Amino acid sequence: MPIDQSEAIILRTQNFAEQDKLVVFFSREKGLVRGIAKGARKFNNRFGSSLEPFSAVKIFYYEKEKHDFVTISNCDLIESAFELLQDLKISYAFSYIAELTEKFSPYRAKEELLYRLLWIILKAAKTGRAIEYVTRYFELWFLKINGILPDFKTCQKCRKIVKTASWLDPQKEGVLCQSCASEKKIEISPLMQTAIDWMKKNPPTEPPGFNLKPEDWKNLGKVFQAIIIFHLEEKPRTLSYIDF
Ligand SMILES: [Zn+2]
């Protein structure tokens, strides 16, 4: 059987059978892949600590015909997130990021941009960027990559450029201005608009070039999450743990 190899980021693992692990990973070459790592729970196994959530790895696997799961034969650790994820708040954020990636991504479809996004937010978190910032950055770019990031600058109805506060329209396709919005539920303040613009142009490894209070970070999250929930048609399970 030919062996495939790819750089990948482990999204999650769970115990499988007696000594194996089910591993969900996002690879550079094939996007989302699910595999079984045989003997991964044995003491002193060959996978070492490489099969941990958000480990960046080089993964070797082969596919059996008509099987949904690949068989992981080896895995080399490139970068570990083990220390980083000891912080509970960060660990919850990355579980949420993993859930979104798994739920939205088609199975085995190359998505280089998403792979790079996972890499860079991991780097940003490891360089000590605030997790609010890393999470919002992921949400924004995740929406953009999936083609569902609204135009926050133009009113959906009157097509005027929005200069003051605006509100997310009920279809989550854009915003409505002060005079057009009838249902003023999810607000986008000018400050949030500045943050969105900045994050569109700069990498998350840079310190944010804007200043949001904890409440603003949370409200910006509500904007992105409303769009995510609308398209997913359900609330991500891990979102209940995110309180920032
Ligand atoms: Zn308008």
Q: Does residue 2 register a pLDDT over 80?
A: no
- d(CA 196, ligand 1 centre) in Å: 20
CA–CA distances in Å: residue 207 to residues 8, 138, 198, 220: 26, 15, 11, 17
Q: Percent of the chain scored above 70 by pLDDT?
A: 100
Give the DSSP H or E segment for 2.
none
Rounded distance from Cα 188 to ligand 1 centre (Å) = 14
pLDDT digits (tens, 9 = 90+) for 127-181: 999 999 999 999 999 999 999 999 999 999 999 999 999 999 988 999 999 999 9
- Cβ–Cβ < 8 Å for 116, 123: no
Contact 112, 121 (CB under 8 A): no
Specify the pLDDT at position 191.
95
For the chain, domains (ranges, CATH) are 4-79 (2.40.50.140), 131-241 (no CATH)
What confidence score (pLDDT) does residue 87 get? 97
Quickly tell me which residue has 């062996």 as its tokens: 3
End-to-end CA distance of the chain: 47
Place of tokens 């080896």: 74
pLDDT tops 80 at residue 85: yes
Mean pLDDT of the chain: 95
Q: Are 211 and 99 in contact (CB under 8 A)?
A: no
Rounded to the nearest whole angstrom, what is the distance from the C-alpha of residue 226 to the centroid of ligand 1?
20
Whole-number Å distance, alpha carbon 165 to ligand 1 midpoint, is 11
**Cα(103) to centroid(ligand 1), Å:** 34
The pLDDT value recorded for residue 240 is 96
Digit-coded pLDDT (tens) for 10-69: 999 999 999 999 999 999 999 999 999 999 988 878 888 899 999 999 999 998 877 889
Give the pLDDT of residue 49.
81
Q: Hunting for tokens 């960027």 — which residue is that?
A: 129
**pLDDT band of 3, cuts 50, 70, 90:** confident
Are 59 and 8 within 8 A, CB to CB?
Answer: yes
In degrees and rounded to multiples of 5, residue 19 shows phi and psi of -125, 5
**Residue 119 in contact with residue 56, Cβ under 8 Å?**
yes
The first and second tokens of residue 147, run together, are 């083609």
> What's the 173 CA to ligand 1 centre distance in angstroms?
14
Nearest of 160, 145, 91, 99 to residue 122 by alpha carbon: 91
Work out the pLDDT band at 207, boundaries 50, 70, 90: very high
pLDDT of residue 64: 83
In this predicted structure, what is the pLDDT of residue 21? 95
CA–centroid distance, residue 141 to ligand 1 (Å): 26
Residue 184 Cα to ligand 1 middle (Å) = 13
Neighbours of ion ligand 1 (CB under 5 A): 155, 157-158, 177, 180
Strands in 166-168's sheet, in edge-to-edge order, are 151-155, 174-176, 166-168, 187-188
Cα–ligand 1 centroid distance for 54 (angstroms): 43
* Residue pointed to by tokens 């943050």: 195
Query: How confident is residue 216, by pLDDT bands cut at 50, 70 and 90?
Result: very high
**E strands present in 17-96:** 20-27, 31-37, 56-62, 70-79
98-126 pLDDT per residue, tens:
999 999 999 989 999 999 999 999 999 99
